Amino acid sequence: MKIIKDTLTKDPRTDDCYRTTILSGQNTIDISLNLDEISLDDMIALGNSFLDDFENKEKKATDEIVSAFYENYNENWADEENGYPVLNAEEFRRKLTITTIDFYAKNLIDVTYKEGGMFGNHYLIAQSYDGENFVDTTMFG
C-alpha cells in the first residue's frame, strides 16, 4: 500500500485536500491528505510512513475504539430482540471496518470505522495527535 502522487485527485470542495483510495485485504479505504502548512510531498511521505507500519497503526487505532466503545455498546446499545446481541471484545472488534484515513497537519490522523450497525450506523473515529498513538475517539453521524 502506497500513496502515489499520480493517483491523487484534488478535492473540488477545497484548495488544500487531495484524495486517493487504497486496498487493504478486501476493503477499500479512502485516504485524504489535508495540507495545512505542510507540502503535498511531505504529506505523502507522512501518509506512506503510516501505511508502511499499517498493521501496527491499525491495531493501535482499533484498540482505542474497542477500549472506548465496547462496554458502551453492551450496556447501552445491545438489543438481542433486534439482532444486536451482547458481544465479547473480539466479536466487537470483528464488526469494525476502516473506511477512511484522514491526514491533517503534521501528525494529526483520524481513522474512521463503520461499526456494523452496533451504534445505529454511526461512524467511530480514532484520533492521533502525534502520528503514532491513538488517544482519543469520537462517534459521528
pLDDT at 1 over 90: no
CA-to-CA separations, 115 to 29, 35, 37, 111, in angstroms, rounded = 15, 28, 33, 13
pLDDT for residue 26: 87
Q: What pLDDT, on the 0 to 100 scale, is given for residue 34? A: 92
**Which residue is listed with cell 471496518?**
97
Question: What residue has cell string 498493521?
Answer: 55
The yes-or-no verdict on residue 28 having pLDDT over 90 is yes
Q: Give the chain's domain count.
A: 1
What pTM, to 2 d.p., does this model score?
0.92
Q: Which helix (H) or strand (E) holds 72?
A: helix 54-72
**Which element (helix H / strand E) includes 66?**
helix 54-72
**Is residue 36 scored above 90 in pLDDT?**
no
**Mean of the per-residue pLDDT values of the chain:** 93
What gap in Å lies between CA 126 and CA 136, rounded to an integer?
Answer: 6
Task: Name the band, by pLDDT with cuts 50, 70 and 90, for residue 107.
Answer: confident
Output Rg (C-alpha) for the chain, integer angstroms. Answer: 16
- pLDDT tens profile 54-74: 999 999 999 999 999 999 999
Buried b (16+ CB within 10 A) or exposed e, 87-111: beeeebeeebebebbbbbeeeebbb
Q: What's the rounded mean pLDDT across residues 46-55?
A: 93
Domain span at residue 52 reads: 5-140
Listed ranges 44-48, 79-83, 111-115; the one with the highest mean pLDDT: 111-115
- DSSP readout, 91-111? HHHHT-EEEEEEEETTTEEEE
